[in-house]
Structure 1
Amino acid sequence: MNRTVYSIDGKELRSIELDDAVFGLPVNEDLIWYAINNELANKRLGTASTKDRGEVHGSNAKPYKQKGTGRARRGDKKSPVLVGGGTIFGPKPRDFSYSIPKKAKRLALKSILSLKAQNDTLKIIEDFSIASGKTKELAGIIKNFGAHERTVIILKDDDPKVKQAGANIPWLSFLSYNRLRAHDLFYGRRVLVLETAVKNLNDFYADSAKKLEAGADNGEAAL
């Protein structure tokens, strides 16, 4: 498919070819959900922790004799049924992260890119850089492409000056073409892709799909 490339002033410049293997796929909602939940799970810290009866502070001595008091039998003051005692089966630090197949993750990202292209929320703009690193310059560029809303900019490389300029804009996030995040990309109301980043996306994801298919064919042939 062909899409228009815009200048940083919002004017039409030329057209560019988008690879249908990256931007023209049917949207797989199940894979998108799978990829987003995987990213959220991998971000969880899992630091919740409680103390059991062996970890709380207190004496190990028997508080009173076993018989003759008319009270319950107590081995120590750290029993979970007493105030200040340990917790029964409480949470401990754990790792919530897990991995998903590489092929599934890439297909989910391509589904999101295809969805944004179909909804016309994906705009391609000419390559730019902000030498001063000032927020005002970047905000002026973004303003030419819509209202104040959650925006994702896909960069052609790791440009520290552009990221510095956008650090003070809370609704703006940056992604590199080879390190996309499904959560940020899916929930971005607008996706601005630099012209070179589009070419890189075409090469990176289309070539990756071909390599995976070639590997699968080789594996089947070996079997």
Structure 2
Amino acid sequence: MEKKVYSVDGKELRTINLDDQVFGLPVNEDVIYYAINNELANMRVGTACTKDRSEVHGSNAKPYKQKGTGRARRGDKKSPITVGGGTMFGPKPRDYSYAMPKKAKRLAMKSILSLKAQTDRLTVIEDFTVESGRTKDLVKILNNFAKDERTVLILKDDDAKIKQAGRNIPSLHFLSFNRLRAHDLFYGRRVIILETAAKNLAGFYNSEEGAE
């Protein structure tokens, strides 16, 4: 698949051949769904906790005698049907995370990249950095490709200067080519990828390392 490479000013520079095994695959919607659900489940803290009747503070004494009052039979004040009593079937701390097959996760990332490339929501730009680390310098570049929409910028490495410049932009998400996240990538309205990162993606996701 051929894509145009743009300068930081938004001008066409050249074309680049993107690997069809990463950017030209049929979109597998099922595996994308499972990958996003897996990431969201792994992010859950799972600390919600309620007290059942054995943990609530209160007397174990029977509130009134069993018979003769005309009222329902009651065991103690900690019953779930009593105000201030224990919670019935409430949540307890648990681990929601689970492992997804590595090949499926890799296929999900390639499917999302293919989807973005095929719907013209993926833009390849020349490698750049923001030496000043200032937000307005990065915004000036981004405005040539995306304005006021959720944007994902895929970097070729862990560029601290770009991340420093973009941390005050709420609609911008950074991803490294070897640490993609299905949720951010799928819901990004515009995906901007550096030229070197686009080349590295082919080698990474077609190797055994990319299955990790």
Alignment TM class, shorter chain as reference: over 0.9
Deviation at 1:20, TM superposition (A): 0.9
CA distance in structure 2 between the aligned counterparts of 1:78 and 1:195, rounded to whole angstroms: 65
CA distance in structure 1 between the aligned counterparts of 2:50 and 2:177, rounded to whole angstroms: 42
Partner of residue 195, structure 1: 195
Larger relative helix fraction: 1
Residue type at the aligned position of 1:131: E
CA distance in structure 2 between the aligned counterparts of 1:65 and 1:194, rounded to whole angstroms: 77
Deviation at 1:2, TM superposition (A): 2.0
Deviation at 1:146, TM superposition (A): 3.0
CA contact (8 A) 1:42 1:96 kept: yes
Partner of residue 122, structure 1: 122
Does 126-135 or 101-110 show the bigger shift?
Answer: 126-135
Deviation at 1:93, TM superposition (A): 1.8
Partner of residue 25, structure 1: 25
Deviation at 1:148, TM superposition (A): 1.6
Residue type at the aligned position of 1:134: R
Deviation at 1:147, TM superposition (A): 2.4
Deviation at 1:62, TM superposition (A): 3.1
Deviation at 1:67, TM superposition (A): 4.5
CA distance in structure 2 between the aligned counterparts of 1:95 and 1:189, rounded to whole angstroms: 32
Query: TM-score normalized by structure 2?
Result: 0.92
Partner of residue 91, structure 1: 91
Deviation at 1:100, TM superposition (A): 1.2
Structure 1 unaligned runs (5+)? 213-223
1:171 aligns with 2:168: no
How many residues are treated as equivalent by the alignment? 211
CA distance in structure 2 between the aligned counterparts of 1:63 and 1:147, rounded to whole angstroms: 66
Partner of residue 10, structure 1: 10
CA contact (8 A) 1:19 1:206 kept: no
CA distance in structure 1 between the aligned counterparts of 2:78 and 2:125, rounded to whole angstroms: 65
| RMSD, aligned CA | 1.8
Partner of residue 38, structure 1: 38
Residue type at the aligned position of 2:158: D
Give deviations 1:149-187, integer Å, cap 9, x for gaps: 110000001112111111111111000001101111111
Deviation at 1:134, TM superposition (A): 0.8
Give deviations 1:119-146, integer Å, cap 9, x for gaps: 1111111111112211100000000113
CA distance in structure 2 between the aligned counterparts of 1:146 and 1:194, rounded to whole angstroms: 15
Identity %: 74
Deviation at 1:71, TM superposition (A): 3.8
CA distance in structure 1 between the aligned counterparts of 2:148 and 2:62, rounded to whole angstroms: 66
Deviation at 1:194, TM superposition (A): 0.5
CA contact (8 A) 1:173 1:184 kept: yes
Structure 2 unaligned runs (5+)? none
Does 181-190 or 74-83 show the bigger shift?
Answer: 74-83
Matches within 5 A, 1:34-183: 34-183=34-183
